[in-house]
Structures are given as C-alpha cells and as structure tokens.
Structure 1
C-alpha cells in the first residue's frame, strides 16, 4: 500500500520524466508536496525504492528511473487501490473472511499496517471481512487491517493477523493504536505519554521504542479485536 504522499510524489516524478527526461529536484518535490523539509522527501523516495516503484542511480544527480506505477496512476486517478508495495510487485492476496452468521458484521479491510518499521498509511478499501458483532461496541466506526511484521508478537499479534480498529483520534496510556507518524507512515504500536513526548512501544525486544513530539503523531484508531491467521 502506498500513502497518498507517496502516490503524489511518484506521479510528479513520472510526469517530469515523461516531459523533460529528468526527475525534479528535492526542492521542487518538497514544494510540490507542500512538505516542510527535504528529509520528508528522502523518506518518501526511500519507501518508493524499497517497494520497487523507482530506482535511484547513485552518483548521478537527479537520476531516478520509474520501474512501475500503481493502479491509481495507470488509471489516471488519485483514489488508488491499496496495493502491496513489496519487491514482487504482486497484489496482496485477499484475506480470508470468517463465516457469516447472524451475529457477524462486515468491515472494510483498509490494507496493511506495519507491526515493525512504519511503512505505510491507510488509503483505500481492498477487501471486506466478517467479524463478530461483539468486537464492535458503541456507534464509532471500525475498520480492519492486515498486520505486516513482528514487532507486536509478544502481545500475540502476528504477521498476517487481522486487527479490528475503532476509529478515534485520542488514546490512553497502554492502548494499542494505529499511529500516523509525521503524516507519512503508519504503524501499530502501544501508545504511552512519557516526559512530554509520545512513546510508540513495540512488543518485541528487537525493536526500540520511538519517542516523538506530540505534533509528529496522529492517532487514527485503537485496537479492539484480533482475528488470528493460521
């Protein structure tokens, strides 16, 4: 899955390459995407390269090759399908739905969420899944995400599991949340306020806790249920 900013940057690079044969500069990218610093562009470029959409030719100024485009750009729109950004270029297989019964409700699966290094933000529905109605309390909206990574395994959240998320923009200490970091990348972590900062804690000793300013983190929902993948 690509974030909206990643899609916008990929379209900008592709359009400029088609017109001029050269990629825009980092300053031009920063201005076009309305980012405050070039470090954000560097992260977007790195993410696109890791997912196999572009290739940087090192030691050559502004030398970027576009290797492929997501469905959104091929169709000429920005309301993209959420796609697997892995090196294989193959779309993620559809998640297996639970059997539907009278007490089950359908939720949209909004792509994948990183339980590891933050990689992507939520952008569009890729599938639906039936979940027990008991998971969904109150009138708040809910959605589902497929977990990618192992940073939460000590809490029993494994790679390939489906997590059920209640939409909310606040969190209490100890909540497991979907956190959008600097508007560019989303991750599933335990939320905690610590010495005036926000700590995003993994549940795997192989991953370090990330300490971020309040304005760098936007809570997008809290975990309320888990559907195990076997």
Structure 2
C-alpha cells in the first residue's frame, strides 16, 4: 500500500537520503505506486543493501514508515496533523456513520485552519467522480452547519439515531436541500430532513500496488 504526501526536505539529510526521498516522490507521481527496493537501487545505481540502510535512517528521522512487503514504504510529512477517521460516507445512497472511533489519519497541515474542528471520512461510490472524488479516497471535512450553495458537504438525512450521511454538492431550497451528484448518469434530488455536518476541504488518494 502506498500513501504519498509531500515531504519537506531538511538540512539534516545526507545527499543519498535526499536523493532517495526525491526518487520516491517522483516515482509515485509518475506511476501512482511505490517503487520496489530493486527499482530504487537500479535507478540510482546503488546496491539494494545500501537502499535498505538509508531507508532505515529516513525512518528514524520520521520521514517515512516501512510497512512490510517489497513496496512497503509510506512517506510522512513533517507538516501533517492527525484527525479522527469517523467511518465511511456514501458518494451514492446515504449510509450510516459512527462518531466513535479509534482510527486516525494524517493530513497535510495546509488543509486545516486553526480554530476549526475536522474529521475524515472514507468515500464509497462514484457519484462525485466529476468533482475528482473516487471510491476509497480519504475526505477531509471541516465541521460546520452552514455552507454556500455549490459547496460539497456531508449531509445527514433521516431522524436520529437512524440518520445516514451522504456527500453531495448542496443547494438550499425552501425548507429543504437539493443534493446534486457530480456524475452525469445521476440526477439531483431533494431532502426535507437534511442537516449539514461539514464541508469538504480536501481529499487524499491512496494507491494500491
């Protein structure tokens, strides 16, 4: 599994360490996956044992995490913050959400504004594909109950405790909300018992092998 967020280079890195970090970033952007140790070694004209040596030191510096497997490297941003992952949000039919969690995700600090509360949800479905949101994306949500027309938001429908949530582009209507999927094959619809739970401020995509 490969998860990429930008890494700030520091003056404490040696030239080989900086070279290896840059290679991982460039490879991920071009191939949407992590390189194997052999691919790194071959491209940088180094021995695999040398790559392992520098990866160990990069992990000690907190710039990456080795997760096992021959592509098991995840880069970590020094400017990341941790927010709770509350569950899954439907990009299709509304589904349940639970607000108790023991799982957290790292998100880039520049997605967040001081003084606001945030949470993350995992996208399910493809009704928001035209907005660049795909099944499996991690969505960063700012908690708020008021939004502007055209914002993408998490909307709770139904009556507690049986309410469900969905992610849609939202427009206000008299005593109702119009929820618009960002998918040419789906039609907007009206909900009369809809409550805004938060506004989408960013998304993070994780690529498998």
TM-score normalised to structure 2 length: 0.59
Rounded Cα–Cα distance in structure 2 between residues aligned with 1:97 and 1:122: 30
Q: Is residue 176 of structure 2 the alignment partner of residue 197 of structure 1?
A: yes
- Contact persistence 1:110–1:123 (CA under 8 A): yes
**1:130 is matched with which residue: 95, 99, 106?**
106
Report the RMSD for the aligned CA atoms in angstroms: 2.0
Instruction: Write the mapping of 1:1-230 to structure 2, written as runs, cut at 5 A.
Output: 99-183=75-159, 184-194=163-173, 197-213=176-192, 216-230=193-207
- 5+ residue gaps, structure 2, are 1-71
Q: Deviations over 1:8-39 (max 9, x none)?
A: xxxxxxxxxxxxxxxxxxxxxxxxxxxxxxxx
2-structure distance, mates of 1:98, 1:172:
36
- Alpha-carbon distance in structure 1 between the residues aligned to 2:136 and 2:83: 17
Instruction: Report the CA distance shift for 1:174/1:97 in structure 2 as closer, same or farther (over 3 A).
Output: farther
Q: TM-score, normalised by structure 1?
A: 0.54
Task: Name the CA distance, whole Å, in 1 between partners of 2:73 and 2:110.
Answer: 16
Q: Which has the larger radius of gyration?
A: 2
Unaligned runs of 5+ in 1: 1-95
Query: How far apart, CA to CA, are the structure 2 residues paired with 1:165 and 1:148?
Result: 15
SS in structure 1 of the partner of residue 177 of structure 2: strand
Change (3 A) 1:179 1:97: farther
Within 1, Cα distance between the matches of 2:175 and 2:195?
15
Residue 102 of structure 1, CA deviation: 2.4
How many residues end up aligned between the 2 structures? 133
Contact between 2:179 and 2:189, CA under 8 Å: does it hold in 1? yes
Name the structure where strand makes up a greater proportion of residues. 2
**Secondary structure of 2:206's match?**
coil
Q: 1:97·1:129 contact (CA, 8 Å) conserved in 2? A: no
Following TM superposition, the consecutive aligned residue runs of length 4 or more in structure 1 with deviations greater than 4 angstroms are none
